[in-house]
Amino acid sequence: EVQLLESGGGLVQPGGSLRLSCEASGFIFSTYALSWVRQAPGKGLEWVSAIGARGGDTYYADSVKGRFAISRDNSMSTLYLQMSSLRAEDTALYYCAKDTPGVLGLFDNWGQGTMVTVSS
Amino acid sequence: EIVMTQSPATLSVSPGERATLSCRASQSVSTNLAWYQQKPGQAPRLLMYGASTRATGFPARFSGSGSGTEFTLTISSLQSEDFAVYYCQQYNNWPPLYTFGQGTKLEI
């Protein structure tokens, strides 16, 4: 069974930094692209960032480009999102999501999310 | 960026009735279109992909259609467990810039 377990969320002041983690199990981690998708309270879904299976290819939404960095450690089956220069509009539940085999950007498994609140 | 627009924002339907949800893309996404179901307090769950292929675990009362810019999700006879928020998402972009619709809340 595929499991994705996010952690690292919390309350941070505007301009601050935070690193999210997503521990994966139940599949061969090193062979799948992964993404972060966020959901502001009471709002819809927003794709944030994606990383290729080997970690060399990274992609970002314009709203976070230059402030967030996605990475992965295939030896630890863990996905990361380093967030800096945080803004109030980054407040959201952050999900990690796994790509469907052979179909980039189609998310067949999601974690339960970790909440990030940016407030003074 | 491809903008996905869903309508209506809220759809009120009685159990046993048919529900039709729409999703429009600002430019063609071919059939690289997915639907997700999200219930309160839960993560989204993949429901449909390739515009018309049901994901594992969803019954045949769910069907999808469309290509290019116009897509439809139909639930033929609503059950109580179907009341949720439904999101469409395109995965046609390269390099990746995946976008979701704003969601349709299906309520009793």
Neighbours of A87 (CB within 10 A): 13
Region A88-103: what's the mean pLDDT? 95
Q: Which residues of B touch A61 (CB under 8 A)?
A: 97
Taking only the tens place, the pLDDT of each residue in A1-38 is: 999 999 999 999 999 999 999 999 999 999 999 999 99
- A94 close to B (CB below 8 A): no
Amino acid occupying residue A90: D
Amino acid B93: pLDDT: 80
Q: Given pLDDT bands bounded at 50, 70 and 90, which one contains residue A80?
A: very high
Beta pairing partners, A107: A99
The minimal CB distance from B43 to the residues A50, A106, A113 is found for: A113
- B40 phi and psi angles, rounded to 5 deg: -55, 130
Q: Given pLDDT bands bounded at 50, 70 and 90, which one contains residue A47?
A: very high
- Alpha-carbon gap, residue A67 to A84, rounded angstroms: 5
Distance to chain B for A92, nearest Cα, Å: 13
Taking only the tens place, the pLDDT of each residue in A50-72 is: 999 999 899 999 999 999 999 99
Please give the C-alpha separations between residue A75 and each of A3, A5, A30, A72, B64, in angstroms, as whole numbers. 16, 16, 8, 9, 39
Interface A-B: count of C-beta contacts within 8 A: 62
Q: Given pLDDT bands bounded at 50, 70 and 90, which one contains residue B96?
A: confident
- A103 close to B (CB below 8 A): yes
- Are B101 and A95 within 8 A, CB to CB? no
- B46 close to A (CB below 8 A): yes
Query: What are the start-end ranges of the E strands in A30-102?
Result: 34-39, 45-51, 58-60, 68-73, 78-83, 92-100
